[in-house]
Structure 1
């Protein structure tokens, strides 16, 4: 009975990207929208603007029918179509300093109440280590306080440091692009034997 009631419950999905910009952010958003549109065509989808900041402030944009039809276009672009921010819900002082919550408020509680207010049943968080640890903190808070919500963390980072994930989204793309750039730089160096090239690579 409970299972059928849960299946019949109307789903509302929210997407959130956070942390630094990295390859696959836009693609992940595009594929999620496309897949949900196929599997749960009646489900409503929104995106929280600028990561956890948008969740705390209630900033969201709807994923319209027109966007659903063209969702896979996002796989051809970098960055994030819904914006990012570096906000941790457990860093209360920082959230207060930024004006995201008021003195005495718990950011986890504010986020949970916003999800309830928006009618969200599934929250997808797309990001790196901090994004996913924050997602875990939020999921634990929701479970402890009897909020009937599901949080799904999607590991995205060029650092490839989200344990126990063997390979995070964006890591291979970053490595490939770095290798291409290095190959071009080496070719340029061959024109002058006295040239010194410094190739800086970001990541851990």
Structure 2
């Protein structure tokens, strides 16, 4: 595939039905217009890329604009939709479930919506999980709670078995809410459906609390995550300042990317050190973390340290590689390790009081805040519009602050990371006052 076509979305076929949405095709009549298949948004907005295309006589790489189409693929009143949630918990999952059900039922008149319990396990009959019927009445209040109404699990199931289940229940659309592993899984399901010449749309709604889905502005739940973490940092600061040479260590989620730790530190600017997976740091030496921490205590008599769970893994010698059911590498506990090393370093030097706080599971199961609630609803609506138009193997997402459809295989090529040369990380360093390098 050429670069110019890399964001093209696969289609199940020609759209033969008229949308039941009473929208407009006329500009200026104060009614929202249907989105045309020709509506595209430029991916790279830089002047450098603009000049490159202009000078080379090339068309820019564009993404499909998300939204309702005038012609749709499915006969909505006779269609069946299914929803599955996979992987770890994240704020906003229930908001997305609710948004999908409401949009399918009220926008398009879809009568049958199936909830798949406990992730992809629910598509394997051998697991014994019964599918549930979802109605507006059943989901109308679930947005007020964290977690997932449907239950979740990690790890994949046999793709052929899962597609058999979808076909047996005459499912026309599958909405999968999850992160990198979930999206790869639903893409594989879409591939198996294509091999069978099936006509089932598979759609991903990108969910990861770590905000590490590539290309998109951010994944839902992320804003709530650092919002919930912020008062914890405030209280940790109170603990640190309440003792002579008080040190608070707060471990936040961030397996491969440190966005929560960095954003929480910016939102609650009482943090003195942020340690993230993207940066290498040493404990020892004149420029090492422990010496810099000692200087901090000498000057201010307290310190607040925020560490992402995946930070500092290079400090663990000869560690065995262990993965979870989703294939993610299980990291050593950097928070406990730091507490031990700091305690050892200051023993016999000067008294320190160390408080270690790990609020990870409280943060991830919180209900979505207002900002995420809005985002979740809009993602759900756009996912439904795309599926009804017969698009498949795509994620509904926001890029450059506009809602678009992107092929799943484009967002799962790599994890998004903090750019250590970028303005965002520089803002964190300005807020904390920590040096560019530790060690």
Instruction: Provide the TM-score with structure 1 as the length reference.
Output: 0.82
Q: CA deviation at 1:191?
A: 2.5
> Which of residues 188, 202, 208 is equivalent to 1:157?
208
2:134 is the alignment partner of 1:63: yes
1:131 matched residue in structure 2: 182
Give the CA deviation at 1:167: 0.5
Given that 1:31 and 1:72 are in contact with CA atoms closer than 8 Å, whether structure 2 keeps it comes out as: no
Q: Is the 8 A contact 2:80 2:110 kept in 1?
A: no
| Matching of residues 1-204 of structure 1 within 5 Å | 3-4=16-17, 6-8=73-75, 10-57=78-125, 59-64=130-135, 66-67=137-138, 71-89=139-157, 107-203=158-254, 204=257
User: What stretches of structure 2 of length at least 5 have no aligned partner?
Assistant: 1-13, 18-71, 258-439
Is the Cα–Cα contact under 8 Å of residues 23 and 170 in structure 1 kept in the other structure?
yes
**28-37 or 18-27, which deviates more:** 28-37
Q: 1:196, 1:189 → 2: CA distance?
A: 5
Q: SS in structure 2 opposite 1:110?
A: helix
1:66, CA displacement in angstroms?
2.7
Contact 2:118–2:153 under 8 Å retained in 1: yes
Q: What SS does structure 1 have at the residue aligned with 2:253? A: coil
Provide the residue aligned with 1:104 in structure 2. none
With 138-147 and 78-87 compared, the bigger mean Cα shift is at 138-147
Relative to structure 1, is the Cα distance of residues 186 and 66 closer, same or farther in structure 2, using a 3 angstrom cutoff?
A: same
Following the alignment from structure 1 to structure 2, what is the Cα–Cα distance between the partners of residues 201 and 7? Answer: 43
- The CA distance in 2 between the partners of 1:59 and 1:164, in whole Å, is 36
Q: Which has the higher strand share?
A: 2
RMSD (Å), alpha carbons: 2.0
Shift of 1:35: 1.8
Cα offsets for 1:77-112 (capped at 9, x unmatched): 1100110001224xxxxxxxxxxxxxxxxx111111
> Cα–Cα, structure 1 residues 196 and 7, in superposed 2: closer, same or farther, change >3 Å?
closer
**Aligned partner of residue 180 in structure 1, secondary structure:** helix
Q: How far does residue 28 in structure 1 lie from its aligned partner after superposition? A: 1.1
Please state whether the residue corresponding to 1:179 is helix, strand or coil: helix
Rounded to whole Å, the distance in 2 between the matches of 1:51 and 1:155 is 15
Q: Which has the larger radius of gyration?
A: 2
SS of corresponding position for 1:23: coil
Task: Please state how far the C-alpha of 1:23 moved relative to its aligned partner.
Answer: 1.0
Q: Which has the higher helix share?
A: 1
Q: How many residues align?
A: 184
Choose 147-156 or 165-174, whichever is displaced more.
165-174
Q: Indicate if the aligned counterparts of 1:47 and 1:62 stay in contact, CA closer than 8 A.
A: yes
The more displaced of 6-15 and 146-155 is 6-15
In the superposition, the TM-score normalised over structure 2's length comes to 0.40
Q: Which blocks of at least 5 consecutive residues in structure 1 are unaligned?
A: 90-106
